[in-house]
Structure 1
Amino acid sequence: MLLTTAPGTLPRSTGAQILNLLLPHHRTTDQPQATAADAFPHQLRRINDFLRKDAPVVLTLPGFPCKSPNPAKTLGHLPDMGERLSLTFLDTLCAEIEKIHPPGAQVVICSDGHVFGDLIRVPDEHIDAYADELRAQIRESGLRRLTVFDLRDVLGDLPHDGKRAHVHDRYAPTLDALRAEVRTDAPTLALYRGITRFLVEDTAEFPGTRSALQRECRGRAYGVIQRSRAWGRLIADHHPRAVRLSIHPQPVGAAKFGIRLLDAPDVWTTPWHSVALRETDGRWTLMPHARARRLGRLVHRDGRPSHYQRA
C-alpha cells in the first residue's frame, strides 16, 4: 500500500521547511517516522549545501522515458495530460520552495528512454518524439523551473546503440552481482518483480506462450535494472550535488527520495504507463487506457487525444 510521509516535527530552519514541502508527496512503503528530520538526513544535508551557497536547490528526477507501447495502457507514443499535470506539479513545488528560499529550485528531468529503448521494445524515433514534446510542453506552459536532460546532452549525435553501449560499459553493475543482490536484498527483489510485471504488461504482441513471455521478460528485467543503475551513476557524475528524486517508492532514509506525481491506485503507476481521467469533482487519477475508456469520454487537445473525462 502506498504511504505518504507526514511532515512531522521538523525544526524551523529553511532546509527543514523545504523538506516539509516534499514530505506530503513522499512515495514509500515504509511506515512514517515520528521525527522526519532524523529520517531524511541525506536530503536535508544536500538541501542545506545549496542554502549555504545561496543557490537554487537542484533536484534530479530520472523518468519520463517514453510511453508504454501497449495501447491498453496509453493513448499513444507522445506525452499527454498525464505528463502535463505531472510537469505542472513539479514546477509548482519549485515555486513553493522559492517562497521560502528566493533563489528557488530547479527539477532536472533525466529522461531515460534511450537508455532502455532496446530492452523495452520502443523505437528510438518514438523516444525522440516523446522527449521533444516534453520540452515543448515545458516551454509552452512556461514551466521555467524545469529542464530536460537526456543522452543527447551527454553523447550528442552518437548512434543510439552506441550511446547505450557506452553507458552500460562504463556504469552498469555486472549481471552476476545484480543476480546475487536480487537473491539477498528484498527491495531489489521487489524492484525486479515490478519491472518484470511491467515488461509483461507492456508487451502487446508475443508469438509464444505466457510462460515463455514471462521468462523472456525476467531476463530483460535484469538488463533494465543494470541500465537504471548506470543511468543513475551517470546523473550523479553530471549533477553531483543534486537532491535525488525517484518515481519509485523508496525506504525512509534512503539516498533517493520517492515522489508521487499524481494520484494512482498502484505505487508503480506513472503517467507514461497510463492515461489521466478527470473525475466529476475535478480530481485527476491515473489508470490504464482500457479502464479509462470504460469510465469516461475521450477529450482531445491540440488535435490529439489528451485524457478522459468521467461520464
Structure 2
Amino acid sequence: MTVTSRIVSDAPVQEQHNITKSGAFSTVRPIAKQQDAGPSVHAVSSKILDIIFEYALNKFSDSKERLEAGRPKFLSVVGKFVATSTRVEMCLPAFPFKSANKAYKVFGILPDKAEEIALDRLNTMCIRIGEIYQPGAQCTIISDGVVYNDLLSIPDRDTWAYGQALRKLASDEGFQHISFSRIRDLVDIPLPAELHEIAYVANATNFRRALLNRFGKDDIDIEKEIEKDPDTKMTYLGYRRFLESDLKHIFPVGNGRTANAYRRDVRYLAKQMLIRGYAFAAAVKHGFPNHLRLSIHQSTGEHKISMSLLNTRTGFTTPWHCCVALTATGEWTSAPKGEYLKDPNMEIIHENGRPSYFQEIVGSNEPDQKSEAESREANSSDSQSSPSLTELQRPVSSSLTAADRERLAELAEFMMSASFKQNDKLMISGRSGVDEVPDCNANELRTVAWLKELINVVDRGTGGYNEEVAGVTCQRIPVNGVQQLSNT
C-alpha cells in the first residue's frame, strides 16, 4: 500500500487522499530506476547524510560511533534518491500526545513552544539539505499516538486534539518541508476522505485492532526480543523510565498499591508498548518502504537514525515529555515543568491564550516580587524555597557511592545531635572525622569549612536528571559566614 503524506500548507488542515496540481499534498513515489552510482552520487549522498547526522541524538559517549555503524545502509537509501534526482524522503514516527504527567512534566494536552522548536529543527534540516541538493528533502511525521494512548490512560480525543493542533502549528509557522501521516494511512479501514474528530475517536479502537491483526505477531516472545535485540532492550528501558514517571500521578502508590506492584505493572505496560511497537514498525516499513527511517528512540544506529528533536544541554529531547525555557543569555533549555517552577526567576509565557514556555527574568528575585512560577511553586506540596538562601538550598544532582551516602548520613545525624552546637573546633582538612565538624552557628571561617565538608561528600561529579539527588540545607548560618563562603 502506497501511503499519502500531507504537506503543510496555509489551507485549513484536512485529511485528504487526493493529490492536487498545486502540490498541496504529496505522494510517496516509487523510486525511479536507479542510474549507475558514480562518485558524484556518493559524494552528494554523503554530504546529505552528514547534515542529517548533525541533528541526530548526541547525548551519549558513543553516539558518533553508532551513527557511523549505520552509514553504509543509510548512504544506500539516500543514494537512491540522489541517483534519480528525486527529493530525499524521510519518515519519523513521533509526536504522539502530551505526557500523562501534567502535574510535573508538561503544561497541558496541546503542543506548545517545545513542539514548535522541534518542528522548526526538522524543517531547518530539510532546508539545509536543499541548499546542497536541488530536489530538496521532506520529513513525514507519522503520528503514533493512537497506537499507545489507551495504555497510558490518554483519551482518544486528547490524541486527536494534539495531532490537529500540531498540524495547525506547522501550517501557521510555514514549515513547508514537514508533512503528516496517521495510522489510518497504514491500515485498510473504510473511512471518509476527510477525517474529523468524531469519526477518528469512534474508530480509534478499530485502528489499533486492524494494526495488530495486519502487522502483529501472535507468537512473539517479547522477553526474548528484549534479551537478544539491543534496539528492543534500549527502547524497553526508555519506556519503563517514562512510564514510571508519567503514571505515578494517575496510579499513585498507596490504597492497596505498593511500590513494587506499581513497578511490576509499569514493566507490563512497557512490554505491551513494545508488542504494539513491533506491529507499528512493520506497518511503517510497509507504508514507507523507500524512506530514510528516523527515530526518537536510542538505538544501535544500524537500522534507523536516532534524532534529537530538542538540541539542549539536558537529556530531555522529546517535546511531549517536557517544557522549554528561554534563558537570559538567549539559550533554550528543556526540563520538566516542575523543575522550572522551582526557579523564582522563571516566568511562564503565554501564547494563543495558553502557557507555552518559560522565560528567565533577570533581576526579578527580590523577596517582595514573586513571579507566576514562584507563586505556583509556593502552592505545591514540596515547596522549600527561602528568599535569602535560594541557591544554597537548591538540590545538587550527584552520583553518590555507598561510602558517600554513609558519610552524608553521619553528617546529618551529627547536625541533629547536642554535641553539634557545643563543638567549637576548627576543621583543618576536608577529610576530617565527624567529631571535628565545627559549630554551624559560629561566624568564623569554620562555617565555610563545615559547608565544604558537606559539599565534598555530596558533589561527587554531577550526574544526569535520572541520577540520585542529595541536598543540604542550613537555615542558621550567620550573615558573616555566608559572606565568607561566597568569597571562598
Structure 1 and Structure 2 fold alike (TM over 0.5): yes
Residue correspondence of structure 1 range 277-288 to structure 2 within 5 A: 277-288=325-336
Per-residue CA deviation, residues 195-244 of structure 1 (Å, 9 max, x unaligned), is 01211111122152222111111111111111122112111111110000
| CA distance 1:197–1:174, change in 2 (3 Å) | farther
Residue correspondence of structure 1 range 168-247 to structure 2 within 5 A: 168-174=212-218, 176-203=220-247, 204-206=249-251, 208-247=257-296
What are structure 2's unaligned runs of at least 5 residues? 1-40, 192-198, 362-488
**Secondary structure in 2 matching 1:148:** strand
Report % sequence identity. Answer: 30
**Secondary structure in 2 matching 1:77:** coil
Name the residue aligned to 1:161.
Answer: 205
Residue 42 of structure 1 pairs with residue 73 of structure 2 = yes
Name the residue aligned to 1:139.
Answer: 171
| CA distance 1:99–1:178, change in 2 (3 Å) | same
Measured in 1, the distance between the counterparts of 2:266 and 2:313 equals 24
Farther-moved stretch of structure 1 (25-34 vs 133-142) = 25-34
Measured in 2, the distance between the counterparts of 1:16 and 1:187 equals 25
Residues 249 and 267 in structure 1, CA contact (< 8 A), matched pair in contact too: no
Residue 209 of structure 2 aligns with an amino acid whose one-letter code is A
**Secondary structure in 1 matching 2:106:** coil
Farther-moved stretch of structure 1 (104-113 vs 189-198) = 189-198
Measured in 2, the distance between the counterparts of 1:34 and 1:216 equals 32
Larger RCO (alpha carbons 8 Å, 6+ apart): 1
| CA distance 1:34–1:105, change in 2 (3 Å) | closer
Q: 1:24 aligns with which of 54, 58, 79?
A: 54
Q: 1:113 aligns with which of 123, 126, 145?
A: 145
| CA distance 1:189–1:175, change in 2 (3 Å) | farther
Residues 269 and 287 in structure 1, CA contact (< 8 A), matched pair in contact too: no
| CA distance 1:121–1:164, change in 2 (3 Å) | same
Residue 150 of structure 1 pairs with residue 182 of structure 2 = yes
Q: 2:84 aligns with which of 37, 44, 53?
A: 53
How much does 1:187 deviate? 3.8
Residue correspondence of structure 1 range 63-142 to structure 2 within 5 A: 63-71=94-102, 72-142=104-174
- TM-score by length of structure 1 reads 0.90
Residue 348 of structure 2 aligns with an amino acid whose one-letter code is L
**Secondary structure in 2 matching 1:240:** coil
Measured in 1, the distance between the counterparts of 2:231 and 2:289 equals 24
Residues 66 and 300 in structure 2, CA contact (< 8 A), matched pair in contact too: no
| CA distance 1:114–1:34, change in 2 (3 Å) | closer
Residue correspondence of structure 1 range 6-25 to structure 2 within 5 A: 13-25=43-55
Q: 2:319 aligns with which of 246, 267, 271?
A: 271
Residue 20 of structure 1 aligns with an amino acid whose one-letter code is D
**Secondary structure in 2 matching 1:298:** strand
In the alignment of these two chains, the number of paired residues is 300
Measured in 2, the distance between the counterparts of 1:31 and 1:303 equals 39
How much does 1:264 deviate? 4.4
Measured in 2, the distance between the counterparts of 1:119 and 1:258 equals 24
Name the residue aligned to 1:297.
Answer: 347
Residue 47 of structure 1 aligns with an amino acid whose one-letter code is V
Measured in 2, the distance between the counterparts of 1:272 and 1:261 equals 10
Residues 67 and 305 in structure 2, CA contact (< 8 A), matched pair in contact too: no
Name the residue aligned to 2:382.
Answer: none
Measured in 2, the distance between the counterparts of 1:285 and 1:152 equals 35
Measured in 2, the distance between the counterparts of 1:304 and 1:35 equals 38
**Secondary structure in 2 matching 1:17:** helix
Residue 206 of structure 1 aligns with an amino acid whose one-letter code is F
Measured in 2, the distance between the counterparts of 1:34 and 1:245 equals 14
Residue 274 of structure 1 aligns with an amino acid whose one-letter code is C
Per-residue CA deviation, residues 89-126 of structure 1 (Å, 9 max, x unaligned), is 11111000111111110000011000111112100000
Q: 1:261 aligns with which of 286, 302, 309?
A: 309
Per-residue CA deviation, residues 253-278 of structure 1 (Å, 9 max, x unaligned), is x1100111113455564100101111
**Secondary structure in 2 matching 1:47:** helix
Residues 245 and 258 in structure 1, CA contact (< 8 A), matched pair in contact too: yes
Farther-moved stretch of structure 1 (165-174 vs 196-205) = 165-174
- TM-score by length of structure 2 reads 0.58
Which protein has the larger Cα radius of gyration, Structure 1 or Structure 2? Answer: 2
Name the residue aligned to 2:195.
Answer: none
Farther-moved stretch of structure 1 (173-182 vs 140-149) = 173-182
Q: 1:249 aligns with which of 262, 274, 298?
A: 298
Alpha-carbon RMSD across the aligned residues, in angstroms, is: 2.2
Measured in 2, the distance between the counterparts of 1:31 and 1:99 equals 26
Measured in 2, the distance between the counterparts of 1:304 and 1:121 equals 23
| CA distance 1:172–1:283, change in 2 (3 Å) | farther
| CA distance 1:94–1:186, change in 2 (3 Å) | closer
Residue 88 of structure 2 aligns with an amino acid whose one-letter code is V
How much does 1:31 deviate? 5.2
